[in-house]
Structure 1
Amino acid sequence: MTFQTLTAGKNSVTFKSFGVDLAADLYLPEGFDPTQTYKAIVGASPFPQVKDQIPATYGPEMAARGFIYLGFDYLGMGDSPALPGEFKQSRYMFRLIENTWDAVSYLGTLPFVSDIYGLGVCQGGSIIASAAVTDHRIKKIAMVSGMMAADAFQWTDRDIANQVIAAANASMQKQYETGAPDYVAPFGLNDEMSREEFVGAAAYPEMAGETYDYYGRDGAKGPVAVENFTNMHIGDQPMQSLISIGEAYADKITQPSLTIYGTNASTAPCSTQFVAKLTNEHEELTFDDFSHVDFYYKPEAVKASTDAVAAFFAA
């Protein structure tokens, strides 16, 4: 696709990362004119999402507010290929960061792009925060329901963490020996479960309920609603996620940042503990009425977050 064929709204594009073409959607504002310049946003999605989930929600919203937004499928996810000899659903943290750097490079080739910003939701918050540490082409970052300080979730109970590690180690060994993918359901939710089945077996039913309402078989953005999405994932992924924590990089971030989260969300400490370590120019916006997943798709929560992000990036 050439610059001349791009139009307002959603445009399917690709860009290179790890030598392959990653599938992406470039959202352009109404009245888009390639002879003008616009502020652009690289989006980072939650684990284990594809571009038809959060990016398909936030892309149009940010374009409606005058920004260019790039949402994409990470290497091995959605419509993007895995590397030769590797398997799909292999979303590894360090690669996500490099994919993000390449997305910034792609935006930098577009003559109508001026400043570039980063917007991450859930795990995407950690991706954006980590990527921005050494990529100062990203001028500002915003994180919504971000999982930057994941220590509070992943390492508080060392026995559970070690069980997760043992399972991930075994999965990696199995895949190496068999040459076949080892798919697991990281949250205990597979693509066939009913809401009653998943929530009934959950230790935290309320959290499970909102998870299912988005990701479940019958959910708003589950495997039925989004054809190229699955809840199944390569089993060795925790070997990277457990040592990829944005909190560790907080005091290295120099760009202005905005953190948005629900005060009563179970994941709120992943934002508050991150913010406590920041030394940059920083803004914090909290909401008492919105949960972690509300910011994924609930209209009032999405409007609140995208309004705030637009104002922050425009300033």
Structure 2
Amino acid sequence: MKYISSIILLATTLWLGADLNRENNNPMNTKDLKVGKNNIEFKSDGLKLAGHLHLPEGFDPKKQYRAVVVAGSLTSVKEQMADTYADRLSKQGFITLSFDFRNYGESEGEIRQYEDPELKLRDLEAAVSYLVNLDYVESVGGLGICTAGGNMAYLAAQDKRLKAFVTIAAWLPNAETLPLLYGGEENLKTLRSKGVNAKEAYQNNGVNEIIPAYSDHDQTASHVGPMEYYMDTHRGGGVPQWKNEFSVMSWNTWLDFDPISKADQIETPAMIIHSDGSALPDNAKLFYEQLKGKKELVWLDGNHFDFYDQKDQVDRSSKHAADFFRQTLNK
């Protein structure tokens, strides 16, 4: 009798798990899909996340495709560099998913512009779940530009469903580089204190203290110039869905972001695309050296922001990424 009860309990658990999976990641009816960009939604911790599902030319829902989750820089939205690379990879035969993390863009999340790598990890896991539940997806990889390169490291370190990942001009800080990036140990203490105070203010009165995320000159911004991509209204600064805002209570979670600490836990195939002009080039090499699985280091020309939207860097990077994913994205 106990054996029969255990079987019933197991079956119920599996059914509930499958039902929850469907609730959180409800794929579109294939009749509603079109080649190119499709608006979709999926859930992470019960929050609706807004995304774009990019389908390649000749898409056939009866076939099997390699798929890639694509994400971008700190505070960015899907309409910026994530869509740019998702579109490029889609044109090379992949299904791609770009989306807004919780708290950003069109996605839900109560604390707007709040940055937390652990929450982003959960959103990336939900994005992978969305893709693996599509009947026409055979395997899933990840591509991260700037901050999301580090976020992909967090994902690869623990989610074995991710079969390969690529970073492009990745933001890969560690404890040793933080004082150099943020004006020394005393200033780091000040920023952390501001984060604690802002969080207390939010908990006590619901006020979310906001500062500029990027500026060429404003010293109150979280990141101070030159920030041409964000300051140029013909580039990222002109994307209407994006807000140049950073929640002050993010300081501690943001400063704790340490992708390099994940490297020696990663056996997933990885390609690191970087340049001398991109952020923290020595850290990119250190991260690469510590990876445990199949890996490739691709060193290109160009400054950091070139890799967001400039044709030469985007074309070359996306081609390298596509070639790597063709080699590594297997079941």
Same fold (TM over 0.5): yes
**Match among 285, 289, 306 for residue 318 of structure 2:** 306
| Distance (Å, rounded) in 2 between the aligned partners of 1:43 and 1:218 | 23
Give 1:303's aligned amino acid.
D
State the partner residue of 2:7. none
- 1:11 matched to 2:38? The reply is yes
Deviations 1:65-111 (A, max 9, x none): 111110000111100011xxx33222321100000000000001100
TM-score by length of 2: 0.84
Give 1:94's aligned amino acid.
E
- Cα deviation for residue 217 of structure 1 reads 5.6
Identity of aligned residues (%): 27
- Cα deviation for residue 272 of structure 1 reads 1.6
- 1:38 matched to 2:65? The reply is yes
Structure whose CA Rg is larger: 2
State the partner residue of 1:228. 241
- 1:257 matched to 2:270? The reply is yes
- Cα deviation for residue 276 of structure 1 reads 2.5
C-alpha RMSD over aligned residues: 1.7
| Distance (Å, rounded) in 2 between the aligned partners of 1:185 and 1:173 | 20
State the partner residue of 1:195. none
State the partner residue of 2:190. 163
| Distance (Å, rounded) in 1 between the aligned partners of 2:240 and 2:107 | 14
- 1:128 matched to 2:152? The reply is yes
Structure 1 pair 24/235, CA: closer, same or farther in 2 (3 Å)? Answer: same
| Distance (Å, rounded) in 2 between the aligned partners of 1:262 and 1:312 | 18
State the partner residue of 1:181. 208
Deviations 1:184-210 (A, max 9, x none): 1233x2xxxxxxxx35x68xxxx823x
Matching of residues 29-68 of structure 1 within 5 Å = 29-68=56-95
| Distance (Å, rounded) in 1 between the aligned partners of 2:117 and 2:175 | 15
SS in 2 for 1:312: helix
**C-alpha contact (below 8 Å) 1:149/1:269 kept by paired residues:** no
Deviations 1:206-228 (A, max 9, x none): x823x23x112635111xx2212
Give 2:319's aligned amino acid.
D
The aligned length equals: 293
| Distance (Å, rounded) in 1 between the aligned partners of 2:234 and 2:189 | 31
| Distance (Å, rounded) in 1 between the aligned partners of 2:213 and 2:189 | 15
State the partner residue of 2:225. 208
TM-score by length of 1: 0.88
**C-alpha contact (below 8 Å) 2:267/2:291 kept by paired residues:** no
**Structure 2: 5+ residue stretches without partners:** 1-27
Matching of residues 283-302 of structure 1 within 5 Å = 283-287=296-300, 289-302=301-314
Higher helix share goes to which structure?
A: 2
Deviations 1:147-192 (A, max 9, x none): 12343542443222212212211211221222121111233x2xxx
| Distance (Å, rounded) in 1 between the aligned partners of 2:128 and 2:321 | 18
